[in-house]
């Protein structure tokens, strides 16, 4: 049944949507409300389907993803900056012709290469650790989540 104006013609700007069917069923413990209403799907979602996932699987995946997302400050990048600065200072001193005999020479030819090399090694170790850790957590999430390409339909009565 379509709404009409007083002259019996359908208004041009009116669309009719069915109302939701709401039922309140009393139980011994709580009141249960069931709502039934039509759902409209976007055209790009017509071939899509839903995959059932247990709440415990979602909780494990969320915990693993929170570990990756919890990283606040990239300390490895600070080490990379210190390594670049130290090794650049040594190279700059060599190009400038700073003599090794003075205090500047000891700082630029002895201390900064040691600091730069140590910072570079620490940078690569931290990056490797973070990369392995993130890779392992991502693999754990992928292992737990169901693959939509490998699901089966469980029809009614099966």
Q: How far are the Cα atoms of 60, 119, 123 from residue 136, in angstroms, in the given order?
A: 14, 25, 20
Long-range contact list for 4-10, CB < 8 A, 24+ apart?
Answer: none
Domain spans, the chain: 72-144
Whether the pTM exceeds 0.75: the reply is no
pLDDT tens digits for range 29-48: 777 777 777 777 778 877 77
**Per DSSP, which regions of the chain are E strands?**
21-26, 31-36
Record the tokens describing residue 108, joined without a space: 């630029």
pLDDT tens digits for range 43-83: 887 777 778 888 899 899 899 888 888 877 888 899 999 99
- Residue 108: other Cβ atoms inside 10 A: 21
């Amino acid at each position: 049944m379509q709404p009409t104006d007083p002259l019996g013609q359908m208004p041009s700007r009116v669309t009719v949507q069915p109302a939701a069917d709401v039922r309140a069923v009393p139980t011994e413990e709580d009141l249960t409300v069931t709502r039934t209403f039509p759902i409209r799907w976007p055209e790009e979602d017509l071939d899509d389907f839903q995959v059932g996932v247990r709440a415990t699987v979602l909780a494990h995946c969320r915990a693993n993803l929170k570990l990756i997302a919890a990283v606040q400050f990239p300390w490895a990048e600070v080490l990379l900056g210190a390594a670049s600065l130290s090794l650049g200072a040594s190279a700059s001193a060599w190009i400038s012709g700073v003599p090794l005999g003075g205090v500047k020479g000891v700082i630029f030819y002895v201390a900064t290469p040691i600091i730069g090399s140590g910072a570079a090694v620490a940078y690569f170790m931290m990056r490797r650790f973070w990369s392995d850790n993130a890779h392992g957590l991502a693999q754990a999430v992928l292992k737990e989540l169901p693959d939509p390409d490998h699901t089966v339909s469980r029809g009614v009565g099966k």
